[in-house]
Amino acid sequence: MYNCRKCPGFCCSYPLIALDKRDVERLARHHGLGFEAARRKFTKAVWGRKYVMRQKADTHFGKICRFFDIKKRCCTIYHARPGVCRSYPGDGRCGYYDFLSFERRAQDDPKWVATTDHK
Q: In terms of pLDDT, which residue wins out, 36 or 117? A: 36
* Residues in contact with 16: Cβ distance below 8 Å, sequence separation at least 6, in sequence order: 46, 47, 49, 52
pTM summary value: 0.81
Asked whether residue 98 is assigned to any structural domain, the reply reads no
Asked whether residue 78 is assigned to any structural domain, the reply reads yes
pLDDT score at 57: 95
Asked whether residue 99 is assigned to any structural domain, the reply reads no
Asked whether residue 21 is assigned to any structural domain, the reply reads yes
Asked whether residue 114 is assigned to any structural domain, the reply reads no
Asked whether residue 117 is assigned to any structural domain, the reply reads no
Please give the Cα distance from 35 to 29 (Å, whole number): 8
Residue-range definition of the domain harbouring residue 53: 13-87
Q: What is the mean pLDDT of the chain?
A: 89
119 has a pLDDT exceeding 60:
no
Asked whether residue 93 is assigned to any structural domain, the reply reads no
Task: Express each pLDDT in 59-97 by its tens digit.
Answer: 888 999 999 999 999 999 999 999 999 887 777 777 888
When divided into structural domains, the chain yields a total of 1
Asked whether residue 8 is assigned to any structural domain, the reply reads no
pLDDT score at 71: 93
Q: In terms of pLDDT, which residue wins out, 3 or 79? A: 79
Average pLDDT rounded to a whole number, residues 19-27: 97
pLDDT score at 27: 97
